[in-house]
Structure 1
Amino acid sequence: MRHQHRADAIVRAVVALAAGVLYQYAFAPYLIWPLTLPAMALIAWAVLGRGFWFGALCGALFGAGFWSGHIMWLTEYLGAVPWIALSGAMTFFCAFGCALGGYLTRRRLVRQTHPALIALIWAVVWTAREAVFSRMPYGGFAWGEAAHSQSNAPTIGLSSWVGLAGLSLALVFVSTLPVTWMLSRRPVRRPLVVGMALLVLGMLVPAWGAIVPSQGSVRIAAVQGNANAGLFSNAQPGEILANHLAAAREIMHDDFDVMVWPENAVDLDVLRSRQAHAEIEAFVNEMGRPLVLGSVTKRGDDFFNSVVLWLPKGMSAPTGLTDGGVDTAADSVVLGVDPTTTSGGPVQIYDKKHPVPFAEYMPDRWLFHPIAPDLVDLVPRGYTFGQRTGNFQIPTGDDAINAGVLICFETGDTDLIHAAVAGGAQLLLAPTNNADFGRTPESAQQMAIARANAVASARSLVNISTVSSSAVIAPDGRFMDRLPDFEPGAMVQNVPLQRSLAPSFFAGPVITWGSVAATVLLLVGEVVTRRRDRRLRQQVTARSGLI
């Protein structure tokens, strides 16, 4: 009997590892989205009913199999240490979630709880784990979520009704149904049929952006300068700006309403550098239309990863915009900018609210410096967390559009996207800089996440990079235009605008935080029930001893 238990444990552990390896092929750059279903089914079979510690072991094996391959791009320039650290942390979080799943389902399987309820509990715990660890610690890492694997799948439309968290929950639930029936020693034919029916139904649900008419459009020019803007770039000051100016001048007289450049497209502080200010001012005034550009800016002692809205002379910003415009500390050293006027120049700034930990700022330097001093010293200063609104009011002729701005990895931050849509965003602009990751799958994975969030929010999204994965994405997830990687170029497209709120705007946060609350309540209830049962057993044992 002991040998059978040991053999069963080994088989489950191997299956958990294989499931993690399989799972990564559902994501970019492979995008074999159906593989999410068997991967979820296999890890559920390995974990459910096996208790806390064995669940943790299987979760760790699954996480190692998935994360070690999924984020291998971290080694491109930084070597093995950051890759080991991040994949190790994400593996730990995965192990913790699977441990909770094993713990919460052990007694329920023994007591023949309905298999559908067990599958739902597992799906809720999985979704809660994704929700929590995409936000913490240090702002989390919103990567590798089940819903992200569906960016090119017919199921992605469901996310505009229930949010990405709801889509993750649905995928895990459907995948787990036949597993829980099998573990309960019941025929699996019915749950297989039900699961397939639910999957087909999910595939037939249209995206909100596909069935709700757009409310107008804006013609956007997006420029990829193919600039070496990475952390270890040897570019001369002003070279990256020159690259984007060269690519932009090719289309500056075409028909469009606003031009968008990537994150870090201006490698000089556009608010303080005389050279950068003069070149941008001359370009925008000649173009005669607004420019949205990325630049590192300094105000006082703080550095920010910023996106700036720059207007040509003679174009007035929307009323009241100067209240959130340029800081006085910067204005004093910028030539030709009067912060009291609404005619031309930099009129609105968005500072990145979610800088990337260990890259754009170093949390707890005192703790990590003794561990990896050379790597920590690569981040000599950190960006300050932005506090400004991410909603740009961009003049377009006689009107203005409301554009939600997200910088780089913020395209995975559903809270920021929700806030932008709540602030009236009619579309999303996502300037990004993928130069640090070379030709690795990182940019493709980021693109998939941006695409999934475009559908979930029912908003068009313009993802414009310095080097790769630049695209215009429609609210239903279609690619309206794309640029070749590592080539300078530009896209000019009529981008649909949307004012209506998709059902996911309301359902997404409810499912996200509802899954977290439900997991906590299930855990508390399980602990209380086990203590009560233990106390009852002790009382029965004491009474039988007296007899």
Structure 2
Amino acid sequence: MQDTAAGAEAMDTGPAAPPPRPPRRLPRLLAAAVAGLVMYLAFPPSVLGPDEGSTSGLWPLAPVGVALFALAVRRLGAWTAALAGLVCGLAFFLPVLPGLRPIGTDVWLGLSVTEALYFAPMGAAMALASRSRLWPLWIAALWVTQEFVRGRFPLGGFPWARLAFSQTDTPLTAYAALGGAPLASFATALIGTLLAYAAGEHRRKAAALGLAGALAVPLAGTLIPTGSGTAGTGEKEITVAVIQGNVPRAGLDFLGQRQAVLNNHVAQTRELASQVRAGRVPRPDLVVWPENSSDIDPYRDDEAYAVIDAAVKDVGVPVLVGALTETPDGSEVENRGIVWDPETGPGDHYTKRHPVPFGEYVPFRDLLTSFISRLERVPRDFARGTRDNRLTMGPAVVGDVICFEVAYDGIVRDAAKDSGILVVQTNNATYGYTSLPWQQLAMSRLRAIEHDRTVLVAATSGISAIITPDGRMARRSREFTPDIQVAAVPVRTTATVGDRLGGLPEWLLALAGIIGTGVAVRARRRAAPDTLKG
């Protein structure tokens, strides 16, 4: 009887249910590639037009791309998810960074692959975190973790093409004023993960909740005050001028005629002075020249000193001159912004704190130059500046940022502290008619809202711009065209919430991504013995 009962119990129980089939890899990898391409379309220049539309991309596609990628890696094994991350990264960075091709196709491909590698561990961590109940939150934070690491390592990092930089003029831009660019990236990623949650849920109420959350994030962004909404009571207004002298030619050899580049900026400054005397434009309180406007050291070359000094005296107000100067021992070069006064000549200056590896200095020079001859184009390394990047120019204190430094949160935050105007001195001639000038302009617009500051972008060949604290472009130049921009702009010294918090939001969000992944892994390990028992 006992044997019969045991047999009947076995028959009632039936065979064990088969384990769930693992996700097929190829469709997931294809979905990851599509996700990367969709995110690329969110970044400038816009595919819809070569001019006005280029100041922003198809920004809603950034969270859509995140959603596709989150669905592609959800519940995958860690190694497959890492491969999917690499695929997504390649599909994203290769079309985002073609502006580097003038330097060399190998540079473009090498940097794109390097940047894509950061997506591999992120993909693996996203797959692990997706097994947690709060996975939309953890995965959005993981995106900040990836950008945190990518923007710092190695060699100081390359924080280009962060999600925040696709949200220049959108309902999500204002998040930068609360928690800097990292919070804007988090908000963008969170919309994507909530969309993925809604798409992957079979329960109607849960899916509706995810969709409602995805809609609530941009709605909340529209309620965050920016621009004049955060202005201080002591705001004043000054008139500024931005000079774009242009260069003889595009590409790597644009500075082959260094004297011509300097003469172009001198000529435009003298033209500005002439227009002021004729009453066609108001007299500016300060003038900004771009990076590399004088690649002849004015401290060592009497002729360069004389023509700059004459132009400054002609316009009669302080001019911020971008110049390359030698260090006292002549072993290195400094990329400087020099305050040139019409009465006292060159005075205070800021030296670029974050030189570009392989462009302004060569890491492991002795080893690499032995088999990469092109590195000889950088015969001397650029010195790394240590000075404050806040400079007094007439009635205002300006925070100076040079070229790619606009992508680095800490450097821009330092420039905004106690200054009334931000200046981005840049030289885009090497990257002319590519995506990079547009992407740099987008970053500058985000920085205006992030720090509630007027931003003056001075570029040798374009794109130069005068950007108001609400991110609007009061003036904007075309590329490879001499240009003079004059406008009255507000001077503000109030600090945004993001300024007060500094780097804390990024650290907390990056840590949250790691903690969320750890929580998911721990929960999975706890569940594993129970699964074996069952």
Aligned positions of 1:314-329 closer than 5 A:
none
Q: CA RMSD in A?
A: 2.4
Q: What does residue 236 of structure 2 align with?
A: 216
Deviations 1:498-527 (A, max 9, x none): 111111113452220112222344455566
Q: What does residue 316 of structure 2 align with?
A: 288
In 2, the alpha carbon distance for the partners of 1:39 and 1:368 equals 37
The one-letter code sitting in structure 2 at the alignment partner of 1:195 is A
Q: Secondary structure at the match of 2:342?
A: strand
**C-alpha deviation, 1:284, in angstroms:** 1.7
The one-letter code sitting in structure 2 at the alignment partner of 1:375 is R
**C-alpha deviation, 1:152, in angstroms:** 2.4
**C-alpha deviation, 1:184, in angstroms:** 5.2
Q: What does residue 443 of structure 2 align with?
A: 449
The one-letter code sitting in structure 2 at the alignment partner of 1:414 is D
In 2, the alpha carbon distance for the partners of 1:234 and 1:429 equals 23
| Structure 2 residue 296 is the aligned partner of structure 1 residue 302 | no
Q: Secondary structure at the match of 2:466?
A: strand
Q: Secondary structure at the match of 2:246?
A: coil
**C-alpha deviation, 1:439, in angstroms:** 1.0
Match of 1:51 among 64, 77, 100: 77
Q: What does residue 465 of structure 2 align with?
A: 471
Match of 1:85 among 103, 110, 122: 110
The one-letter code sitting in structure 2 at the alignment partner of 1:357 is P
The one-letter code sitting in structure 1 at the alignment partner of 2:337 is V
Change (3 A) 1:89 1:402: same
In 1, the alpha carbon distance for the partners of 2:19 and 2:90 equals 28
Q: What does residue 232 of structure 1 align with?
A: 253
Aligned positions of 1:34-45 closer than 5 A:
34-45=60-71
| Structure 2 residue 289 is the aligned partner of structure 1 residue 261 | yes
Is 1:239–1:267's contact at 8 Å kept on the other side of the alignment? no
Q: What does residue 402 of structure 1 align with?
A: 397
In 1, the alpha carbon distance for the partners of 2:174 and 2:67 equals 22
Aligned positions of 1:9-20 closer than 5 A:
9-20=25-36
- The count of corresponding residues between Structure 1 and Structure 2 is 494
In 2, the alpha carbon distance for the partners of 1:379 and 1:241 equals 21
In 2, the alpha carbon distance for the partners of 1:162 and 1:532 equals 35
**C-alpha deviation, 1:391, in angstroms:** 0.2
Aligned positions of 1:144-155 closer than 5 A:
144-155=161-172
In 2, the alpha carbon distance for the partners of 1:484 and 1:50 equals 47
Deviations 1:80-106 (A, max 9, x none): 100111000010012222222112333
In 1, the alpha carbon distance for the partners of 2:426 and 2:246 equals 12
The one-letter code sitting in structure 2 at the alignment partner of 1:193 is A
Q: Which one is further off, 191-200 or 460-469?
A: 191-200
Query: Which runs of 5 or more structure 1 residues have no equivalent in the other structure?
Result: 314-343
The one-letter code sitting in structure 2 at the alignment partner of 1:224 is Q
Q: Secondary structure at the match of 2:145?
A: helix
The one-letter code sitting in structure 2 at the alignment partner of 1:493 is A
In 1, the alpha carbon distance for the partners of 2:184 and 2:424 equals 23
Change (3 A) 1:435 1:537: same
Change (3 A) 1:240 1:2: farther
Is 2:198–2:211's contact at 8 Å kept on the other side of the alignment? no
Q: What does residue 279 of structure 2 align with?
A: none
In 2, the alpha carbon distance for the partners of 1:21 and 1:9 equals 19
Q: Secondary structure at the match of 2:353?
A: coil
In 2, the alpha carbon distance for the partners of 1:508 and 1:231 equals 37
Q: What does residue 224 of structure 2 align with?
A: 205
Q: What does residue 361 of structure 1 align with?
A: 361
Q: What does residue 32 of structure 1 align with?
A: 58
Aligned positions of 1:396-435 closer than 5 A:
396=395, 401-422=396-417, 424-435=418-429
Change (3 A) 1:135 1:16: same
Q: What does residue 159 of structure 1 align with?
A: 176
Q: Secondary structure at the match of 2:180?
A: helix
Change (3 A) 1:531 1:32: closer
Q: Secondary structure at the match of 1:439?
A: coil
**C-alpha deviation, 1:119, in angstroms:** 0.4
The one-letter code sitting in structure 1 at the alignment partner of 2:476 is R
Q: What does residue 99 of structure 1 align with?
A: 124
**C-alpha deviation, 1:183, in angstroms:** 3.8
Q: TM-score, normalised by structure 2?
A: 0.87
In 2, the alpha carbon distance for the partners of 1:194 and 1:532 equals 30
Q: Secondary structure at the match of 1:50?
A: coil
Aligned positions of 1:267-282 closer than 5 A:
267-282=295-310
Q: What does residue 493 of structure 2 align with?
A: 499
Q: Secondary structure at the match of 1:154?
A: coil
Deviations 1:386-444 (A, max 9, x none): 01110001123xxxx1110000111111101111223x111101110000112111101
Is 2:427–2:460's contact at 8 Å kept on the other side of the alignment? yes
In 1, the alpha carbon distance for the partners of 2:79 and 2:237 equals 54
Q: What does residue 127 of structure 1 align with?
A: 144
Aligned positions of 1:504-523 closer than 5 A:
504-507=498-501, 509-523=503-517
Q: What does residue 5 of structure 2 align with?
A: none
Is 2:138–2:517's contact at 8 Å kept on the other side of the alignment? no
Is 2:140–2:513's contact at 8 Å kept on the other side of the alignment? no
In 2, the alpha carbon distance for the partners of 1:51 and 1:257 equals 61
| Structure 2 residue 85 is the aligned partner of structure 1 residue 64 | no
Deviations 1:141-163 (A, max 9, x none): 12111111111223212321222
Q: Secondary structure at the match of 1:195?
A: helix
Q: Secondary structure at the match of 2:341?
A: strand
The one-letter code sitting in structure 1 at the alignment partner of 2:415 is A
**C-alpha deviation, 1:208, in angstroms:** 4.4
**C-alpha deviation, 1:3, in angstroms:** 12
Is 2:32–2:84's contact at 8 Å kept on the other side of the alignment? yes
Aligned positions of 1:381-392 closer than 5 A:
381-392=380-391
Change (3 A) 1:171 1:468: same
**C-alpha deviation, 1:285, in angstroms:** 2.2
Q: TM-score, normalised by structure 1?
A: 0.85
| Structure 2 residue 165 is the aligned partner of structure 1 residue 139 | no
Q: Secondary structure at the match of 1:155?
A: coil
Q: Secondary structure at the match of 2:60?
A: helix
In 2, the alpha carbon distance for the partners of 1:209 and 1:270 equals 40
Q: What does residue 341 of structure 1 align with?
A: none
In 2, the alpha carbon distance for the partners of 1:283 and 1:45 equals 59
In 1, the alpha carbon distance for the partners of 2:225 and 2:342 equals 41
Deviations 1:212-249 (A, max 9, x none): 25710221111000114753236334111101111111
Is 2:463–2:478's contact at 8 Å kept on the other side of the alignment? yes
Q: Identity over aligned residues, as a percent?
A: 30
Change (3 A) 1:537 1:381: farther
Is 2:175–2:187's contact at 8 Å kept on the other side of the alignment? no
Is 1:59–1:96's contact at 8 Å kept on the other side of the alignment? yes
